[in-house]
Structure formats: C-alpha cells, structure tokens
Structure 1
Amino acid sequence: MDANNRSLELSIVVPVYGSATILPVLIQQVYEAMTQEGLADDFELILVNDAGPDNSWSVIQTLASNNAFVRGINLRKNAGQHNAIMAGLNNVRGRMVVIMDDDLQHPPSALGDLMRALKDGHDVCYTKYLNRQHAWWKQAGSRFNDYVATLLLGKPKGLYLSSFKALKREVVEEIIKYDGPYTYIDGLILDVTQSITSVDIVHQARHEGESNYNFRRLLSLWMKMATSFSILPLRFATYMGFGLAALSLVMVVFVVVAKLLHPEFPPGWASLIAVVLFIGGIQTLCIGMVGEYLGRTYLKLNRRQQFIIGGTTWKKADADE
C-alpha cells in the first residue's frame, strides 16, 4: 500500500491561523506524546492553514518536508475554524481522529487519554478543562454557548463542548457528508451519535501571542449553531407573535373599558409610542431571524463551498493510487 494512502491509528487535525512561530513546538510535543504511546510511526498531523496573516504555510511546508508525519493543507481564502477543520477531516487516514487548536493550550500529553476513551467503546470523547486560561468574557460566552447548545441541540447537561476532542473514524465519515457552507462541528457530532464521554485535562496558557477569537467570531459561531441545526428560533418568533397578539387584544379591551368608565381619561401619547416601538422591535427581530434562515438556505442552494484548497504538501496523484 502507498505510504500516502495507508491506514493509520490516529489522525490529528489542527486548524492554523497566525501561529507560524508556535507550530515547531506543537509538532515536537505531539511527536513526543505519540512516541510515549508507541505510535511514533502510526499517526499523522494534518495542519490546515486557514489563510492567516503570517507565513504559516511556508512553515508548514518546511515541517512537512522534515517530518513524515506532518501533512499540510493550504486554503485559498479564510474559511473559519470549523470549515478549516472540515477540510482536514476530508483528508484523514486514521482509525481515530483528534481535533485540537494550534496555540498549545490543548496539551498533547492528553492525546493518549482521548484515544483510550474511544477504545473503551465511546464514539466521541471531549475534554473538560480543570483550570481554564481564557479571558473572563470568553468564558462567559462559552457558558452562554453551552446553555444554548443544551436548549437547541439537546446537548447532554454537564458536557462541555470543547474544541479539543477525539472521534472514531465512522463518526467522521458521517460528519463530512454535510455540505452546507456554515459548519458547526459540535452540532454535527450531536446529530450523529449519543455515545459521548469526556476526560479532564489541564488547560495550558497560550504559548505566545493572543487568541484570534473575538466577540464577533463567538457571535458568528452562536448564529451557526442557532440557525443551522435548530428551528427553535423560528418557533420563538411564532410564539412571540402569538404573545404580542394576545397582549394587544388585552390592551384594546382595557382601553375601551377605561374610556367607557372614564370619558375624561386623557390619551396616553407616551405609552402609545412605547408600545409601537416595542412591537416594531419584536417584528424586526423576527424578520431578521427568518432572513438569517433564508440567507443560509440561499447560499447552500447556490452551492457555496465550505473551503477551497489551494495546495497540499503531498501529491494528490500519489494519494489516489
């Protein structure tokens, strides 16, 4: 069997964005962890360059030429973390697959524990941080995202949807069938299986630099989850419409009765404006929700791609042999 196409025990997928200086340390620690597990020659590390602002791709090419276990994918344009992960998942060869970040906050020493959890019979294994090293606002956003995932996706309570996780190859094969442009990996996992566990890990401080995630990206991630894998926001809009209609009916009865009992009752201009603005705001919110769904449907019907691969560190002809 060709070396580029043979089956391996483990594939590690890492989306890369602005981490050129961290990558050499990352692959060294991963290799040491795999050596301790006796898998030095039976794993691959797939680095997906998400069109970052630095020279990450040239660093990946150098690392791949010097380390047989490193494979690189270069995206032509920035696709986002989850779509970059999908690019990696579409090219894995391992019987088990681990997804981890590029900033070394996910300790490679935990790879063995993740693999053993899958070997014990679970389809997916997440990690639970014992001491999170994120900023307070990011931790608050994660807690909100966790609550919404429980509400919208039926996530088991107590399960933290971390970005450091392991999946069986069978689960990956189901996930990559999704062809929508707005990918949310955890939503796809929860759609595929209920056999999920977690292991505790020590969350490390970022090796250097600052996180690329900001409030806008966290909000975008929440919108993907809310509108790509659940219709609950649309139902919320419907319930809100019924509630406002009932409230309006009560208000009409109240105004009529008040006018009959107290003809001198002055008209309430301020209260009228407040009600109009409130109802208008709710209507705008509901229209926005519907528009978000329609927009995503439109882009999917027009076959907008999840990612566009500009190059790899291996020859496609060799991999297809």
Structure 2
Amino acid sequence: MVVDSVEVVRLSVVIPVYRSAGILPKLVVQLRDAIAIEGLSNGFELLLINDASPDDSWRVIEELSREFPFVRGFNLRKNAGQHNAIMAGLNNVQGNVIVIMDDDLQHPPGSIGDLVRGILAGHDVCYTRYRNRQHAMWKQWGSQFNDYVATLLLDKPKGLYLSSYKALRREVVDEVIKYDGPYAYVDGLILNVTQSITAIDIEHQARDEGESNYNLRRLISLWLKMATSFSILPLRLATYLGFALSALSLVMLAFVVVAKFLHPEYPPGWTSLITVILFIGGIQTLCIGMVGEYLGRTYLKLNCKQQFIIGGRTGGGEL
C-alpha cells in the first residue's frame, strides 16, 4: 500500500551498524525497493552509523554511498553502543519522519510504510510488535524483564513493547537530541517527551547471518541506564530498605533482651549474629553501589564525556 497523505513525507532511516559488512548490501537494496513501492524515493535518506565495527563495515558503507545517492555514512571513532550510535544518527537527520531499525534484516523493510502511516495518522511515535519473535529464549525473557522495569521506572504504557524498530515525528526527535548525557537510552527519552504512541504488528524475520551482538552484559548495562538515567526509584528503594532494616533490628533487639531474661542459660548466638552481620553488610554494599552508580554517571557528565565522536562521513545531499 502506497503512503497517501497531503503531508509531504521526507523520510530518514537511521541504522546503527556493527559487524554487518556482509548484510549491508542486501539491506540497502531491500530498503530501496520497499521505499520505491511506498512512493517515497524522492524524499528519502538512509543514515548508516558505523559504531567502530571491527570488520569491513565502514568500507562497505563508503562503497554503498557511492552506488546509492540516498546513503549517508557516519564512522564513529570509538564504539559508543547502540543507543549512542542512534543518537549520532538522530543528530544528523533531515527528514520529518524518522525510522530507526536494526542492521540484521530481522526488521522487515516492507513494514516502513505502515510505520509512516502510523505517524501520518497523528501519532508522535509508532512502535512495532513482533508476531513471531526469532530471538533466543534467554533474550525474550530479558525483554520481558526489561518491559516490566520500563513500566515501573519510566511510566511506560502497559502492553507497549519497546521495540528497536520504530518511527518518530521530527518534533519528537528535536526534543530527544537535547539530551547530551553520555548514557543515552532512546526509549526512555521518547517516553519523557510524548504519550502520543501507537504500535503496529510485524513479522519478525530470522537473522540473515551471524549472531546478535547483544549479550547478557549489554542487557544489564541497558537496565542500569534505564534505572539510573530516568528514575530515582532505586535510591528510594534503598531508603525504604534502610527503614525496614532499622525496624527489624529494633524488633530483634527486643526479642533478644526478652529471651535473655526468660532463659539466662541460652548460649550466645554466634551463628545468628554472623548471619545478621553478613545480611546487613550485603544490603549496605548494594545501596552504596547504587549511590556510586548515580554519582559516577553524574561525574562523567560533568566532565563532558561525549555520547559519540564522528570520525568520518560519506555521501550526503539535501532531501
């Protein structure tokens, strides 16, 4: 179905690239064909953000920019992470509708028209829902946990899946890129900007080649970004936990005193004492670590740690 609207659509597609040299040519061709079917070829740009990929991704991007005039490439000097690489793209888009997608062809290019129509219907953001997810089971469990945490910390609407395949109105992008901290979480920034959000269903395709670059460590890092960049709930929980432990210690004190008076022959409780000390010590260490996480991120921002550093560009032109 061709996009039909009185509003002139200038489309920008932002794709962070990492270890995808073999996939990029096929991805660009499929995108070109999908955009042509939607009748958007005259106002279309594709921004490929090479996140310091160790393979030949940047060389391939340079070749593609020479072959396809709509391809613009940006080469980051050091690996910044998926969300910071996306921010690099958002800071350089020219379109009034911006689509963000992955580089592994699991996001079908043919769904871009439906995403654009979601924006043209009056929404600020259009997410995607996967009908048949091709991710490993552990990653699906991680996504479910991520969904729960986002609902708790970011006031995310229930039932909304924060997919990495989405479309944004330009006005939303202009607000999102005002964030200049070193630990960007794009979905958190979006939820801070607008509540006008819709979603469409798509088929999740199998990865064309290779393996996902996301692992457990990166997922945990993502959760920490979400928790410490957009909410003080962890600190508040630490406060509540401190009050709870204080109340528990008073109860235990009363219990020990009463037990000593009623049963003077009881031996000293070495085991229970050590258990309590280790428990309280562990909670204190956890809380101190949480405070340190906040302070560390504040310190890095005050020292102007950059989200990304662009080392090279290729292609380009006005939409």
TM-score range, shorter chain: over 0.9
SS of equivalent residue, structure 1 residue 41 = helix
**In 1, Cα distance between the equivalents of 2:314 and 2:12?**
16
Moved over 4 A (4+): none
Q: 1:1-321 maps to which residues of 2 (within 5 A)? A: 9-314=10-315
**In 2, Cα distance between the equivalents of 1:179 and 1:244?**
38
**In 1, Cα distance between the equivalents of 2:179 and 2:13?**
20
Alpha-carbon RMSD: 1.1
Kept after mapping to 1: 8 A contact 2:260/2:266:
yes
The structural deviation recorded for 1:202 is 0.3
The structural deviation recorded for 1:8 is 6.2
**In 2, Cα distance between the equivalents of 1:14 and 1:8?**
19
Kept after mapping to 1: 8 A contact 2:95/2:170:
yes
Task: Tell me the alpha carbon deviations over residues 153-197 of structure 1, each in whole angstroms, 9 at most, x when there is no partner.
Answer: 000000000000000000000000000000000000000000001
Structure 2 unmatched runs, 5+: 1-7
**In 1, Cα distance between the equivalents of 2:143 and 2:22?**
27
SS of equivalent residue, structure 1 residue 86 = helix
SS of equivalent residue, structure 2 residue 188 = helix
**In 2, Cα distance between the equivalents of 1:16 and 1:41?**
24
The structural deviation recorded for 1:220 is 0.4
**In 2, Cα distance between the equivalents of 1:312 and 1:36?**
28
**In 2, Cα distance between the equivalents of 1:265 and 1:129?**
62
**In 2, Cα distance between the equivalents of 1:314 and 1:90?**
16
The structural deviation recorded for 1:314 is 4.0
Kept after mapping to 1: 8 A contact 2:46/2:72:
yes
The structural deviation recorded for 1:40 is 1.5
Which amino acid counterpart does residue 125 of structure 1 have in structure 2? C
**In 2, Cα distance between the equivalents of 1:42 and 1:190?**
28
Which amino acid counterpart does residue 120 of structure 1 have in structure 2? A
The structural deviation recorded for 1:39 is 1.0
Task: Tell me the alpha carbon deviations over residues 234-291 of structure 1, each in whole angstroms, 9 at most, x when there is no partner.
Answer: 0010000000000000000000000011111121111111110000000000000000
**In 1, Cα distance between the equivalents of 2:133 and 2:266?**
59
**In 1, Cα distance between the equivalents of 2:181 and 2:310?**
16
Which amino acid counterpart does residue 202 of structure 1 have in structure 2? E
What's the TM-score, normalizing by structure 1? 0.95
**In 1, Cα distance between the equivalents of 2:129 and 2:183?**
26
Which amino acid counterpart does residue 241 of structure 1 have in structure 2? G
Identical residues among aligned pairs (%): 74
**In 2, Cα distance between the equivalents of 1:147 and 1:135?**
19
Structure 1 unmatched runs, 5+: 1-6
Which amino acid counterpart does residue 95 of structure 2 have in structure 1? G
**In 1, Cα distance between the equivalents of 2:9 and 2:152?**
37
Which amino acid counterpart does residue 270 of structure 2 have in structure 1? W
SS of equivalent residue, structure 2 residue 161 = coil
Kept after mapping to 1: 8 A contact 2:9/2:40:
no
The structural deviation recorded for 1:61 is 0.4
Query: Hey, what does 2:5 align to over in structure 1?
Result: none
Which amino acid counterpart does residue 157 of structure 2 have in structure 1? P
**In 1, Cα distance between the equivalents of 2:110 and 2:279?**
53
**In 2, Cα distance between the equivalents of 1:199 and 1:314?**
32
State the number of aligned residues: 311
